[in-house]
A and B are shown apart, each in its own frame.
Chain A
Amino acid sequence: MTVQTESYVMLSVVLFTLGAMGVLLRRNAILVFMSIELMLNAANLSLAAFAAHWGQQTGQLFVFFVITVAAAEVAVGLALIVAIFRTKRSINIDELHEMKG
């Protein structure tokens, strides 16, 4: 039984939307971070689905790259969160509004 490509794309859309909502609505930095990961993986899912749909490896290749970049991002992002936590004693991102004009 083959799963329709549309289903993958729909799942991807749902996941991406959930991720985006998480980024926009959550106050906990860790959760925001995880939501970003969710968005990335939603994109990965659609890439892999399209690659399968067209029978080409390009999309899968991109998935690898995205996973690699996400891994690097996790390293940097978690380091940033730790640094923020050390200075602010909190990871509530609403408290980080020094850029307010």
Chain B
Amino acid sequence: MEYYPQLVPLIILIPSIGAFINIFLGAKLEEKWVGTIATVASALAFGVAVLLFIYLENSDYMAAIVNPPLLNGWITIPSGNVYIPWQQRVDTLSVTMMLIITGIGTLIHVYSMSYMHGDKRYHRYFAYMNMFLAFMLVLVTANNYVMMFVGWEGVGLCSMLLIGFWFDKAHGVGWRNTLAARKAMILNRIGDFGIVMSMILIFWTFGTTDYYTPLEVVNEEAVAHRIEQREAAHSENAAAAEHGEEAAPDEGEHSTETSASTDGEHAAEGEAAASTGGEHGETAAAEGEGESGDEEHAAAAPVYLNNDHIATDDLGVFGQTERYMEEPTEITIGPFTLSFEAWLTTITLFMLLGVAGKSAQIPLFTWLPDAMAGPTPASALIHAATMVTAGVYIMVRSNVMFHYAPATSFIVTIIGASTAVVGGFIAMGQWDIKRVLAYSTVSQLGFMVAAVGIGAYGAAIFHLVTHAFFKALLFLGSGSVIHAVEHGHHHAQAHAHDHDEQGHEPDHDYEDEPQDDFDPQDMRNMGGLRRKMPVTFITYLIGTLALTGFFPLAGFWSKDEIIADSWAAGLVGNNLAGYISFGLLLVAAGFTAFYMWRQIELVFLGTSRTDAAKNAPESGPMILIPLAVLAFFSIFVGFINTPSNVLGLENVFGAHLFTDRLEFSVAYAHAGAFNLLIALLAFGITIGAFVAAHRIYSRRAIIEMRRDPLELLPSTAGFWSFANARMYWDYAYNRVFTQPFERIAVFLADVVDWRFLHDYFHDSVLYRGFNGIAEILSQPVDLGIIDGAVNGIGRLTRWFSGGLRQIQTGYVRTYALTLMVGVILVILVILLPLLQRG
């Protein structure tokens, strides 16, 4: 058991190795090996996540594993006092994310092995998927913002690569895919500006970017309660024999106490711990006062139950936030001196911008629906289940900061709730099966963000978990449908054109695709598929019911908790945002139910509207098994966090088990109370929307015209067209940003660059100037000075040697005479001094 923490780096290493194998060797390997390597890598990572979960579950106080930094000086700038380690953190929040990412990731890998069959870049797809897993795990296991940002950018990269995966599809489709990838990249860069700014501000404010330092206690109350619970269970075990392990009474007690003690009063918690009596309780109380507990733990290392022994500067970001909030502090960054609260608001607002980019919130959400250009399983994993929830994750991770920044929280709520409504509204007017789901994802992310805004951090993560299952299920189901309709279309065409080629197996060889207008994703081309593909239908129906919050499927519990928490935030917390969120989310829930049932009616019910749909085959087991597994979880995963006092369910599944665990890593994740009236209201809205959708879309005659009944109805035509045009968001962005940008770009390219720089500047200034200088250099300088000098020397030499030549008579006697005269001269020179002396 004690070796488990050392497994932590493996969770990133294993998918990385898978990605490396596939990227370098994948082209040479057979398809099945490529898929198997990637899937096994993903499954092994899941295994590691499960082991870590087991370790955490059995550890004392659910203490987080913060492994010793792998690279201590990952980023070291001594002059700036920047020391950022590559350090991973495994706590209940990150282990939740790990299980989701690797678990759903593995299922999607299995699914992809069949879905991507025959693609010419099969190995590249799996390499990207494994790379995505690795980066996503970096993101969630990071213990500081900088390392988180590595994962954040990495998943963005993988997202872009997978959106543009079919960049070379024929007939302009590839270009559209490329544009979609580019759009995702650019909108995410806008968000990343926010993340980078918030990281910088966090560093300047706190001097560190660590979430928590290794020995820090995240949530003192949670730890105290854990000890209390264990003690109670222990004593009950000892006293009464049988139902000792039954944790139910404790849980009930716990939830009330938690809500009472959220004020953060140490004293109340200390009393509560002390009142239970028993050794551990006393220890907790004693250690709360000082360090006298050391005596009892003389042998073992001291176990601290709070952070009082750590100096403020040594705490992580969130610990420091708590300290600073205890007394008003002013912090100076550069030329600005603001109160700590103001900095916190600034930091969180910048972070919100990043979240809006990554988690597709207003105003940056328009990339997500376009991201559906990628392969469907990749959409399921990246653009529905995991990557887009990274924003929610990072907000929940920073819950302490958001908790103390009410202004930001208000904006977060408004943005989240409006996104939920906008996404749901647009989804009602779409014909593309994946686009509906994409807007649904936008809408559901809005739910999570709104939950963060009203302080329901536990509910946000709970909805993230359940949503990951049923939205992955829906996407994979839609992939199965699209695949089947595509096959059906090819089959029908083969029948129509050539009876001999019945055995022709259509595959992904998209360069040979015949040009036709048939769109296998258009729901108008479907219908009646429930009989053709029963398993897909059943699982899709389960996904739909789970998403729309049908009792007692997963979505019911998570969505209801968010809506109930909104109401509670409004009523109890006297928070205006709570009421706004409550109202908007109920509307969004209604939209959700409407567009999902519309989809069911259009795709599965009724009769087949095209030959393609008539010939659609059920998918193979590689596709159906992941669907079945996800359907199972979509039904049951909600029970990990059932509220107390609902039909006695807490006796079966326990109450708030998930939130209780989350509290060990999310300081302000408190379990929400169940509100029967609100649950009934939401459920009623869902049923009402189902009925409405059924009444509208089961009318065949109108559907046959390939137009939406709502479009034909004068009273709703305007609304429907508005939704169908995606509320003109993309249009507006095109008009306001893209087109002016393009116009500026054209101006810069044509006028400034081409006409001014090339034609004018180059020709007039550079070309003519160069010519002028060259002229001067060549004529007077080169020809005059340099050549003159060289030739002058030559001429001088010739003139001089012409004179000397006269001496060379060629007669030996001349030379002899010269020699003799010379000798006589030498002798004279030698002798003259002697003669003078003599």
Contact = CB atoms under 8 A, between A and B. Distances in A.
Nearest to A97: B810
A101 B807 contact: yes
Nearest to A101: B808
Most-contacted residue by chain B among A25, A97, A101 (CB, 10 A): A101
Interface stretch (B344-352, B369-377, B813-821): B813-821
Nearest to B820: A20
Nearest to B813: A24
Contacts of A24: 813, 816-817, 820
Contacts of A93: 811-813
Nearest to B808: A101
Contacts, number: 30
A26 to B, nearest CB: 9
- Highest count of chain A CB atoms <10 Å: which of B806, B807, B813, B817: B813
Interface residues of A, number: 13
B499 interface: no
Contacts of B28: none
Contact of A97 (B805, B806, B811): B811
Size bracket of the B interface: 10 to 19
A101 B811 contact: no
B813 A23 contact: yes
B809 interface: yes
Contact of A94 (B805, B811, B816, B820): B811
Contacts of A100: 808-810
A75 interface: no
A96 B813 contact: no
Interface string B779-809: 0000000000000000000000000111111
A2 B504 CA distance: 141
A22 B239 CA distance: 153
Interface string A17-57: 00010011100000010000000000000000000000000
A96 B812 contact: yes
A20 B816 CA distance: 9
Interface in B232-284: none
Interface string A85-101: 00000000110111111
A96 B812 CA distance: 8
A96 B124 CA distance: 93
Interface string B815-835: 011001000000000000000
Contacts of A32: 812
Contact of A23 (B805, B807, B810, B816): B816
Considering residues A25, A96, A98, A99, which has the most beta carbons from chain B within 10 angstroms of its beta carbon? A99
A101 B806 contact: yes
Nearest to B807: A101
A23 B805 CA distance: 24
A100 B805 CA distance: 8
B133 to A, nearest CB: 93
B807 to A, nearest CB: 7
A98 B812 CA distance: 10
B138 to A, nearest CB: 90
A59 B816 CA distance: 26
A5 B805 CA distance: 45
A96 B816 contact: no
18 contacts: A20-B820, A23-B816, A24-B813, A24-B817, A93-B811, A93-B812, A93-B813, A94-B811, A96-B812, A97-B809, A97-B810, A97-B811, A99-B810, A100-B809, A101-B805, A101-B806, A101-B807, A101-B810
Given A25-B813, A97-B811, 18 more contacts: A20-B820, A23-B813, A24-B820, A32-B812, A93-B812, A93-B813, A96-B810, A96-B812, A97-B809, A97-B810, A98-B810, A99-B808, A100-B808, A100-B810, A101-B804, A101-B805, A101-B807, A101-B808
Q: Which 6 A-B pairs have the closest CB atoms?
A: A97-B810, A101-B808, A100-B810, A101-B805, A99-B810, A24-B813
